[in-house]
Structures are given as structure tokens and as C-alpha cells.
Amino acid sequence: MTSIEERLKHYYDREMAQRAERPLGEERESRLADFVLLCRDRGLRSVVEVGCGAGRDGKVLAAAGLAYKGIDLSAASVDLCRTLGLEAVAGSAQELPYADDEFDAGWSMSTLMHLPGEGLRVALGELHRVIRPGGVLEVGLWGADESGEWTDADGRYFRSRTDDELCTLLSDVGEVTHVDTWSRFDDGGHYQWARVVVD
């Protein structure tokens, strides 16, 4: 495990119980509800969540009848998910412990911006591998008007990309059909969300 991963794991292991109590926020709740409806409309029955956290999204996905599996770097996150009855494992977004074409859909919010270097490309390649062609992937992460990387006061590494850079990376997975942004800050930082139909 790299030092970046160690710091992230330490932070989220320590903070996850408190995070479990936080509201998702209106935008994320809306996207999650739309994702559930999309899965229902398209007959998608299984979903993998990369960065399952405290299971806040996973509870909704499983309650909607989707066969759910989650993965997170933080063992505390996995433990919390399991107490909710969710199937979750500890592991890396860059080495998903799942079979090719195992899932109909994928969901990852506020996780993949922590991957340095080519990590995002590798993680998206793994999602491409485990989601069947014609399936759907929805991704949300913090980006910016200009690319950059930094480590915050808690030791968490962040890598921000422009909207165009993100869409270029996602286009390697399939057709990017929807893109939106919100929570814009004065420094150009903002939240990015996209939907991809996997090829």
C-alpha cells in the first residue's frame, strides 16, 4: 500500500462513523434516485459501488432491489456497510476483485479523485472490465477549471481534472451521455458528475 493510500485509509477509518450521519445533499440524492430509476427502466439488476463509504448510497441501491456489492479502501467503511446488511469488501479501486462483465451497472461518488498519477485511468479500466457492455456507469468527483493536485491538512491527496479531461478519460469506458456540475467555488473547484453507457 502506498503512503497516499495509507493516509487515506487512516483518515477514513477514523472519520467514517461520523460520516455515516451526514446527509448526502440534494444533488447527490437526486442523481441517486435517477440512477435507481434508470436501472429499473433498463432492466439492470446488479451494481458495484467503488468507494462504498458508510453505505449511505448502498442502502438506497440495495433497497431498490439491486444486487449490490461495494468496495472501499477503509476497513471501517466495510464494517459499517456490513452492519447494514450490504455485501462489501476492503480493496483498491485499481484492482477490483470481481469477474469480467459481472455487473450491469457501476456507481462511484467522491472517491476516484484521490488516485494519483494514472490511477483514475486504471480504475476506470477496471470498471470497464467488470461492467458488461450496454451497462451504465455513473461517476462523481471533485474537479476544477484547471488541473491540479494537492494534499489537504488531514493528509488526503486530491487530483482535480477539468470537465473536458474527465470526459476524455470516461470516453475510454463508453459513450458519455450526461455531464453536470455543481457546488462551484471561487477558485474554480466544483463537483463533476457523468453518466457513461459502457461499450
C-alpha to C-alpha distance for 61 and 64, rounded to whole angstroms:
5
173 neighbors 166 (Cβ within 8 angstroms): no
54 neighbors 23 (Cβ within 8 angstroms): no
Domain boundaries, position 193: 3-198
95: CATH: 3.40.50.150
Q: Using DSSP, state whether 65 is helix, strand or coil.
A: coil
pLDDT at 178: 97
Helices (H) and strands (E) in the chain, counts: 6, 9
pLDDT at 190: 97
pLDDT at 9: 93
User: Which amino acid is located at 119 in the chain?
Assistant: G
Give the total number of structural domains in the chain: 1
pLDDT at 17: 87
Output the CA torsion sign for 135, 114, 192, 54: positive
pLDDT at 1: 72
90 neighbors 72 (Cβ within 8 angstroms): yes
C-alpha to C-alpha distance for 174 and 25, rounded to whole angstroms:
28
Paired strand residues for 119: none
Q: C-alpha 147: how far from its chain's center?
A: 19
* 177, containing H or E segment: strand 174-182
136 neighbors 197 (Cβ within 8 angstroms): yes
C-alpha to C-alpha distance for 192 and 184, rounded to whole angstroms:
10
Per-residue pLDDT for the chain (199 aa), expressed as one digit of tens each?
789 999 999 999 999 988 888 988 899 999 999 999 999 999 999 999 999 999 999 999 999 999 999 999 999 999 999 999 999 999 999 999 999 999 999 999 999 999 999 999 999 999 999 999 999 999 999 999 999 999 999 999 999 999 999 999 999 999 999 999 999 999 999 999 999 999 9
Is the pTM of the predicted complex or chain greater than 0.85? yes
pLDDT at 21: 87
